[in-house]
Amino acid sequence: MSTSDENKYERHAKKCPECMTYIPVDANVCPVCKKRVGKATESGMARKATDWMSYIMLIISWAALAVYIWWAFLR
């Protein structure tokens, strides 16, 4: 099959990156492992969803550490 033939076929499933099971293309959560998944890549694997809350907590933790160091040692 050529690539133009492959592009005209629509995907009906994507593969969960955590548990490797096939799930529907429009699913946002894997029904098996309950992990959030994103859109499918060209190879049919679902992208891992970004956990923004972890990034926010990391930034808050670094800011709290900087304030503590200033308060304990530099004032």
Confidence at residue 75, expressed as pLDDT on a 0 to 100 scale: 84
pLDDT in tens, 44-71: 899 988 889 999 999 999 999 999 999 9
What's the pTM value of the predicted model, to 2 decimals? 0.60
Domain boundaries, the chain: 3-74
Task: Annotate 19-43 with b (16+ C-beta within 10 A) or e (fewer).
Answer: eeeebeeeeeebeeeeeebeebeee
pLDDT in tens, 24-33: 999 999 999 9
Q: Are 14 and 45 in contact (CB under 8 A)?
A: yes
